[in-house]
Structure 1
Amino acid sequence: MGGYSSGRHGGKRTTNDMHVLDIRKIARSGLLKPGCSFSWQWTRGGEKIASIGLRTETDRVVLDYRSRSNGDEWQDMHYPVYLAWSGCNYGGQRAWWLCPAAGCARRVAVLFGGKVYACRHCHQLAYRTQREQDYDRASSRADTIRKRLGWEAGILNLPRGKPKGMHWRTFERLQAAHDAHTNQALAGMAAKLGILRGRLGL
């Protein structure tokens, strides 16, 4: 059984940094029936980087994996995560995890890996957009407009002309917004580069 190494060096963690157990995906795979035993894997570049064993019982799923933090010894982890159920608008029931972290029991769809799989609040995780710098958000917004205009992604790529069939007024409005976001992103990047150069004494 592959392990999960908890602990991340540098910066606060976001939800994108973590391995996730999404009960919706597990339910869609038909694996929430009592008696099911299976392995859930994570891959990167086609290579397995971690896995976890799960065994479904009545109203709970037992997790089985190994964990270590910051290079410490591997530790065997084996514990149940209880389930809750809610009705769906079109019939049937939807499954939820009850966060197994001590004192929590929040009803959530996703658990995030660590020494213990727990909810976002218990791991004190932010969504990636909450950790983005202003210039990152500006760059993302500019790229959204570039996609709508049919331009190549990336604010350093040259802009192109008006898409066929788009009104000039719409194009000019989008182009102005794109340029404003691009200028904000480039100014932020330049400022950050200046700070880094100062720290390095360049």
Structure 2
Amino acid sequence: MGGIGSGQRWQLGADTTDNYRSIDIRWLKREGLLESGVSRRITWSRGGEAIGSINIQSEPGRVILDYRHRDRGREWKPERYPVYLDTTPCHMGGERHWFLCPARGCGRRVAILYGGAIFACRHCYRLAYPSQREMPGDRAVRRADRIRDKMGWPGGILEGSDWGKPKGMHWRTYERLCRKHGTLSYRALVGIIDDF
């Protein structure tokens, strides 16, 4: 137990997956980009402006990533390498596709690769999910808002929770969600008070 990289302190200082460009194998599958012989350029944009692109070429059992990158203002460096694929059977038939992380010594089966000098799994880059960096009060607010959306109530925990049961929802489900919303609202308010 313990060691380098363990514990809350490490998670709070880590970069998050939102800060990196990513390639999701589930999206590639939906777009038909895992069919052998398919090649396509993918572009990332922020605010309507292109901030990066990569060419993905599919071959049997792997995809070839072809792109350019630069590190801290140095010269652009071309990269072209294969990322091998794996599949696992699904319980109801079919199969699920995975990337095998191309980072040296990893080979972990993952659904998403994150881009830096190479595209690798979040474990290799030591990335945290944004929700792992949330304070408990912020997490409670987000979860309470998700319940409010499900119930069709207006946003914000200060709006109260007596907006009525949505049509078609079972009373038992409604009462469970109301109790959960109350607990989360209390935690969120305690978090706000603790911040002061």
* TM-score for the superposition, normalised by structure 1: 0.73
User: Matched residue of 1:25: which SS?
Assistant: helix
Query: Paired residue for 1:40, among 39, 42, 45?
Result: 42
SS at match of 2:70: strand
Structure 1 residues without counterparts, runs of 5 or longer: 1-9, 195-202
Q: Does the 8 A contact of 1:150 with 1:163 survive in 2? A: no
- Residue number in structure 1 paired with 2:114: 112
Query: CA offset at residue 73 of structure 1?
Result: 3.7
Q: 1:92–1:182: structure 2 CA closer, same or farther, 3 Å change rule?
A: closer
Q: Specify the SS of the correspondent of 2:124.
A: helix
Matched residue, 1:95: 97
Aligned to 1:159: 160
> CA, structure 1 residues 154+70, in 2 after alignment: closer, same or farther (shift >3 Å)?
farther
- 8 Å CA contact 1:59–1:83 kept in 2: the answer is yes
CA shift in 2, pair 1:167/1:121, >3 Å? closer
Q: For residue 52 of structure 2, what is the aligned residue in structure 1?
A: 50
How far apart, CA to CA, are the structure 1 residues paired with 2:71 and 2:54? Answer: 16
Counterpart CA distance in 2 for 1:39 and 1:147 is: 36
Give me the CA root mean square deviation: 3.1
CA drift of 1:188 comes to 2.4
SS of the residue corresponding to residue 66 of structure 1 reads: strand
Superposed CA deviations along residues 68-106 of structure 1, whole A, max 9, x for unmatched, are 344444322221111223344455544321110000111
Is 2:128 aligned against 1:126?
Answer: yes
Task: Tell me how many residue pairs correspond in the alignment.
Answer: 183
| Alpha-carbon distance in structure 2 between the residues aligned to 1:87 and 1:149 | 36
**Alpha-carbon separation, structure 2, partners of 1:20 and 1:112:** 4
Cα shift at 1:174: 5.5
Tell me how far apart the structure 1 counterparts of residues 96 and 26 of structure 2 sit (CA, whole Å): 8
Q: CA deviation at 1:146?
A: 2.5
What is the distance in 2 between the residues matched to 1:170 and 1:25? Answer: 33
Aligned equivalents of 1:167, 1:82: Cα separation in 2: 47
Which residue does 1:64 correspond to in 2? Answer: 66
Mark the CA change 1:92 to 1:134 in structure 2 (over 3 Å): closer, same or farther: closer
Cα distance, 1:117 vs structure 2: 0.6
TM-score by length of 2: 0.75
Q: Distance in 1 between matches of 2:176 and 2:92?
A: 42
After TM superposition, the structure 1 stretch with the greater mean CA deviation from structure 2, 170-179 or 31-40, is 170-179
Taking the aligned partners of 2:160 and 2:84, their CA distance within structure 1 comes to 53
Structure 1 distance, partners of 2:171, 2:100, is 53
- Which residue does 2:192 correspond to in 1? 189
Which amino acid letter does the alignment assign opposite residue 141 of structure 2?
S
Distance 1:18 1:184 in 2: 31
Question: Aligned residue for 2:3?
Answer: none
Contact 2:161–2:178, Cα closer than 8 Å, also in 1: no
Question: Which residue is equivalent to 2:139?
Answer: 137
Match of 1:12 among 11, 14, 24: 14
Unmatched 5+ stretches in structure 2: 1-11
State how far apart, in whole Å, the 1-side matches of 2:64 and 2:76 are: 19
